[in-house]
Every structure is written in structure tokens, then in C-alpha cells.
Structure 1
Amino acid sequence: MIDWLNPIATLIASFGGAWAAFKLQSVERTRDVRRANITAANRALMTMMQQANTLKLYQEDQIDPRREHPGRHLAIRATLPHELDALRFDFKSLDFLDSPKEQQLLFELSVEERRFTETLRAINARSEILLTEVDPKLSSAGFLDGGSYESKDLKQALGQPLYNKLKRLTDDVIHHVDRTNESIVEMKNKFLLAARARYPGTKFVDFEFPDASTAAS
């Protein structure tokens, strides 16, 4: 009897060892997938933080000091071009968000990315017009940078069509920056809720901007 029990015992021991090894590999794969998903979610949140910070800096440095200026379309100066492809989301890494509600969230995230890109396009277009059309005309007409001039003189130097175009672009830039800066933070809050629901107890990237009144006090 012992002769045939030994092979069975060996087979059972081998199977048990293989099963334990399989379970260990399965657990490790699960941990790796979890770690990768959390990293991807944090990367998306970091991208939102960088997007919001880019617009917040432009808002605080360029728009807010001149927001109520009657000649803000000329007072807000040109900036260096913003890179349009630098702050994009890696949607492939977020495909673990696969429930219908999470898929809707990813769609909204893609809309937010588009809104951010279009805001940068507007800023770049306005800066381009200032540097290539407006400033050369004003310079050739004898206007000095930083000087104080009446709008009728500026209109005459630039011509009504270009003057109106710059004013319209400036209003568009201010609208896009203000709106998108708010919508990115709203998107971050929604994404953060979804990430925490998917992986409870996990620490995720978060950010808030202080109110202007708080920052000033």
C-alpha cells in the first residue's frame, strides 16, 4: 500500500506547491495592476494641477492687474507661446475606469482637455497678433511702450478692424481663462471622487487655490 501512496502524496504536494505559487503570482499581479492604476489616476490629477496652475498664473499675472483697465486689450501684454501638447491626459492608462459612470467621467475629461487646449490657442493667437501686427504698427507711428495714449489715437494708428480684432480676442481670452480655470478644478473634484471610490483609503493628488481675499490677508 505504501508503494502506491507515495506517488500520490508526491503528486498532491507538487499540486499544492504549484497552486500556492499560482496564487502568489495572482496576488502579485493584482497588486501590480492596482499600483499601476493608482499611479495613472495620480498622473491625471497631476496633469489637471499643472493645467490649472498654468492658467492661474496667467490670470494673476496678466489679467487680474488690468481686468478693469479701459484699454486692457493693449495693457495685457504678449506672452511666450504655450506648448499645446505638453499637458495631455494618457487615456489608455485610465481604461480601468470602465463602469458606465466612469466612462462618462472620461468623456468629460476629454472635453476638459480640449477646453484647456483651446484656451492656450486663444492666448497664443492674441500674443501673435500683438507681436506681429499691433506692436510694429504702434512703433512705426511713434508710440512708446508703456506710454499713456487715448483710444482714438490708438484706433487711428492701428485701424479700426485690427483694433476691434484685438479687443475681441482679449475679451475671448479673459472669458476662456476664467471659465477653464474653474472647470478644471471642478473636473479634478469629480475625478478625485471616482478614484477614491475605486480605491478607498488610497492617498491621491489633490490641490486647491486660495481665495484672493485669503491670499491677500
Structure 2
Amino acid sequence: MTIFPSAHERTITIAILSFCFGLSFGVAVLGTGITANDVVPALFTLIAAFVGAWVAFALEAKSRKYERREIQLESANKLLFALSERLSSLRVFQHDFIDPVREKTSRMFEMQPFALYRDPQSKLDAQSVAFLFQSKYKPLLLGLNAVNDMFNSAVDAIRVRSDIHLNTIQPLLEQAGFVLGQGITSEQIHQAVGDRNYHVLRTSTDILIDQVDNFILGGDELRKDLIAAFSEVFSEREVFGFELLDKPVSILKIFSEGPRGEAKKDSSSQ
């Protein structure tokens, strides 16, 4: 077991004990005939040592408190950045893939698959801001875990539906003689892919939309709560504040345009 957490605390403890011992010794010797003039210089030396040790301890404590605060602030901003990555990526997906077909009865067919989705490299880890346990904002840690689960569920839904669309529905439509871009009715698709695949695609599409919408709603509420909490724990100026974009940059637009925003030309026309 470590008695003294640091060398400074060990030095301060020794100084305090020395001071107490010296003071007791001074009181004792005064009773033996030794004059106060003999004891006062030594007593002042002990007091000076004690004050010096106390100042050193205060400075060390202040330094450690500052370092701890900087580490916590960095963790808070990293967490907010991780949340912003997740909100931005799924908000773009919602804008590009869900919103254009949201109200259509044929959305289960018209929504494009997106097999290229990649998880952000950052981590949405509640343990990284465990210092919130010591504040009134500790319920946010449970919210963090819930939102992280919602994000993972939304991503799983995107991948599952994309796999069904690409590897089950499209091959069956090709076998039935339909080609990409050809007009096709819901009844024709139902007949071509079969009842089971038809309902699996419809269900997976509905689940995907619900999961993405739920994450964006829950994640945005958490964004507001975390920024408010960290702004109070630290300061608003130091905290990474961000907004959920209403009209994000389209993935499909980036893929369909050249480096200067010009439409890519078909190689066959060159």
C-alpha cells in the first residue's frame, strides 16, 4: 500500500511532523532554564520550513488539478467529435437515401442500397467522461450508451437491407428479365422475387428508416445536453459545439461530380 501518493506529499508530511516535534521540544526546553532567545531562531527556521512545504504542496495541488482538468476537457471534446461524426454520417444518409423516397409506397424498391458505409474511427465511449459521475449530469452517461446502441442498430439495418437488395432482389429481377432503369411495378417485383423476399425487403426498409430516424432524434438531443453540460463544467468557449446540419453535403452529389463540382462525363461520349 502506498502511504504517500507523491514525493511532495511525503516532504510536506515530514515537514509538519518536524515542526510539531520542534515546537514540542521548544516548549520543553523553556522549562529547563534555556532562554527564549536561544529557542526563537530555531523556531523561526522550523516555521519557515513549514511554510515553504505548505506553499510547495499548494502549487503541486494546483498543477495536478489543472492537468486533470485538461485531460477531462480533451476527453469531452473527443466524445463530442465522435458524436458529430456519427450524426453527420447518418444525417447525410437520411438526406440522400431516405428523404427522397420517404413518402412513396414504392420506397422499398426505390431506396438505393449503400454497401460502402464505413464506421467512424472514433469511439463514443461513456467511460472517457466518467468524471460526469461526480456531477449532476451523470444520467447523460446512460444516454450515451443508449445512443451508441441506436447508432450501431442503424448501421446494422443499413448493411442488412443493402445485402438483401444487392444479393437477393437484384439477381432475381435480372433472372426475370428486368434491366436496370427499366420501369417496373410493385406487382411485377412481387411476382419476380416471391412473397418471402418481397416482405423481407419491405420489413428491412421500414426498420432501416425507423432506426436511422430514431438515432438522429436521440443523438441530437444528446448533443444539446452534452454541450450544455460540458459548457458548465468547463466553459462554452473551450467546448466543441456543433450543430446538426439541416441540408448536409450529398454523398451522391460528390460521387456524381468532378473535382470542381462539374458533372462527370460519360467515358463512352469521349
Q: TM-score range by the shorter chain?
A: 0.7 to 0.9
Query: Counterparts of 1:201 and 1:163 in 2: how far apart (Å)?
Result: 51
Q: Is the deviation greater in 140-149 or in 26-35? A: 140-149
Match of 1:50 in 2: 85
Following the alignment from structure 1 to structure 2, what is the Cα–Cα distance between the partners of residues 201 and 6?
53
Identify the match of residue 149 of structure 2 among 95, 106, 114: 114
Unmatched 5+ stretches in structure 2: 1-35, 248-270
Would you say 1:199 and 2:204 are equivalent positions? no
The answer to whether the 8 Å contact 2:157/2:208 transfers is yes
Task: Give the deviation of 1:85 after TM superposition.
Answer: 7.7
Does the CA-based 8 Å contact 1:122-1:169 persist in structure 2?
A: yes
Aligned counterpart for 2:188 among listed residues 141, 153, 165: 153
Q: Check the 8 A contact 2:150/2:214 in 1, yes or no.
A: no
Name the residue aligned to 2:163: 128
CA–CA separation in structure 1 for the residues paired with 2:137 and 2:155: 27
The one-character-per-residue Cα deviations of 1:39-58 (angstroms, maximum 9, x if unpaired) are 11111111111111011110
Q: 1:166 deviation in Å?
A: 0.3
Decide which moves more: 134-143 or 95-104.
95-104
Specify the code of the residue in structure 1 equivalent to 2:78.
R
Would you say the 8 A contact 1:59–1:177 is kept in 2?
Answer: yes
CA distance in 2, matches of 1:87, 1:174: 24
- Pair 78,210 (structure 1): closer, same or farther in 2 beyond 3 Å: closer
Contact 2:151 2:215 in 1 (8 A): yes
* Structure 1 match to 2:68: 33
**C-alpha RMSD of matched pairs (Å):** 2.2
| Residue 179 of structure 1: aligned partner | 214
Query: Alpha-carbon deviation of 1:100?
Result: 6.7
Would you say the 8 A contact 1:97–1:103 is kept in 2? yes
Q: Runs of 5+ in structure 1 lacking a partner?
A: 213-217
User: Could you say which residue in structure 1 is the equivalent of 2:107?
Assistant: 72
- The alpha carbon displacement at 1:171 in A equals 1.3
Q: Please report how far the alpha carbon of residue 26 of structure 1 lies from its aligned counterpart in structure 2 after TM superposition.
A: 0.8
Q: Percent identity?
A: 30
* Number of residue pairs the alignment of both structures matches: 212
Write the deviation string for residues 96-138 of structure 1: whole angstroms up to 9, x where unpaired: 1124742211111111111111111111110111122112111
CA distance 1:124–1:87, shift in 2 (3 Å): farther
* Mean Cα deviation higher: 1-10 or 101-110: 1-10
Question: Is 1:88 equivalent to 2:123 in the alignment?
Answer: yes
Answer with 135-144 or 124-133: which moved more.
135-144
CA shift for structure 1 position 83: 4.4
